[in-house]
Amino acid sequence: MRRPIVAGNWKMYTRSADAHILATAVRNSVMNLEGIEVIICPPALWVSEVLAVVGRGGKIELGVQNMYFEAEGAYTGEISPLMVRDVAKYVIIGHSERRAYFGENNLDVNEKVLAALRSGLVPIICVGERKREGLPKEPRYQLEEALHRVPKKHYRDVIVAYEPVWAIGTGENAEPEYVAKVVSYLREVGLADTPVLYGGSVNSKNVEGYARRPEIDGLLVGSASVRAAEFASICQTWAKEKIFKA
Ligand code: PGA
């Protein structure tokens, strides 16, 4: 279902003590925010620890940044959907860094999306073009592939994150008008009820432009999400702009 969301992807940042401090600061600063869902995706090793800080059923939901699609087995080093389900609700799937550095392709992404849904997890499906182009075909194709064999009635159970690769971690955020246009293009796949987020160099200074676009339901924030005050400020702006329009 479409709803205002701010998700933080901590990537491979934080040591154990940092995770504890950061989670505590985020919890305290978003505690009283109404009208938005806040998701944090720490490194998998810290999820239980962060869960102990934010609590179950509180303001903050947790996610992981990746998982394997098998339920269990001899897959050294992997984590399964069932393991994730014990501690978190969300799983980021197909992040461009997974695609670029770990060889994940559209088939893997599709298997993971199906596995997440089978296990009652909400996949946050990441798509985005590598090079700037007019109306980019790449994310639309990635999305169609990611949703292959997913029954249409489940489209409302996933989240899509549109993240142009050229905007991730570069400081070169995509213009809100451009993002709004691509999001509408992606929705044509059948995503009328699906939350669509934007990600790519979002910070407290540029967040407002996205918040004002009704096409964009939320954000997937990377580097700014490991700075507590910055992330809190992004969440506050999102809540302020979106609350009356939800
Ligand atoms: P960034 O990362 O905010 O650091 O650009 C976004 C992401 O990778 O999800």
Residue 223 near ligand 1, beta carbon < 6 Å: yes
User: Is residue 245 within 8 Å of residue 33, measured between CB atoms?
Assistant: no
What is the pLDDT at residue 57? 87
- Return d(Cα 69, Cα 109) in angstroms, integer: 9
User: Is residue 111 within 8 Å of residue 147, measured between CB atoms?
Assistant: no
- 69 backbone dihedrals φ, ψ, rounded to 5°: -95, -15
How many residues are given for the chain? Answer: 246
List the domain boundaries for the chain: 5-241
What is the pLDDT at residue 83? 98
Residue 168 near ligand 1, beta carbon < 6 Å: yes
Place of tokens 């499906």: 125
Test site for ligand 1: of 202, 205, 225, most ligand atoms within 8 A of the Cβ: 202
Q: Which residues are catalytic?
A: 95, 163
Specify which residues 127 forms β-bridges with: 162
Residue 234 near ligand 1, beta carbon < 6 Å: no
CATH class of domain segment(s) 5-241: alpha beta
Radius of gyration of the chain (CA): 17
Q: Average pLDDT for consecutive 10-residue bins of the chain (246 residues)?
A: 96 98 97 95 98 94 98 98 98 98 98 98 98 94 98 97 97 97 97 97 98 97 98 97 68
Atom of ligand 1 nearest to the CA of 199: 6
User: Is residue 177 within 8 Å of residue 206, measured between CB atoms?
Assistant: no
